[in-house]
């Protein structure tokens, strides 16, 4: 059975912006070594943070979602 990780807003934001441990966690999910999960509420919060804190338009980020799973 594959390990499951639930990614919160902090992990997603740090994983997108920097190459530290959060990035490595996202990479494990991308590589299929673990199952990375999130939910619509976390993704809404991420979009809000990207818009307000980083002054970025969220439509610049390309996300592909399948149910509650986050894929890069």
| pTM of structure | 0.68
Span 32-48, mean pLDDT? 91
Question: What pLDDT, on the 0 to 100 scale, is given for residue 72?
Answer: 42
d(CA 56, CA 54): 5
d(CA 52, CA 20): 23
Indicate the domain borders of the chain.
Answer: 4-71
d(CA 22, CA 31): 14
Q: Is the pLDDT of residue 62 over 70?
A: no
Q: What percent of the chain has pLDDT over 90?
A: 49
Confidence category of residue 55, pLDDT binned at 50, 70, 90: low
Confidence category of residue 65, pLDDT binned at 50, 70, 90: very low
């Amino acid at each position: 059975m594959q390990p499951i990780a639930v990614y919160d807003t902090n992990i997603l934001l740090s994983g997108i912006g920097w190459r530290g441990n959060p990035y490595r966690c996202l990479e494990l999910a991308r590589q299929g070594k673990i199952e990375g999960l999130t939910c619509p509420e976390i993704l809404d919060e991420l979009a809000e943070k990207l818009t307000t804190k980083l002054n970025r338009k969220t439509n610049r980020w390309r996300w592909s979602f399948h149910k509650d799973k986050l894929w890069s």
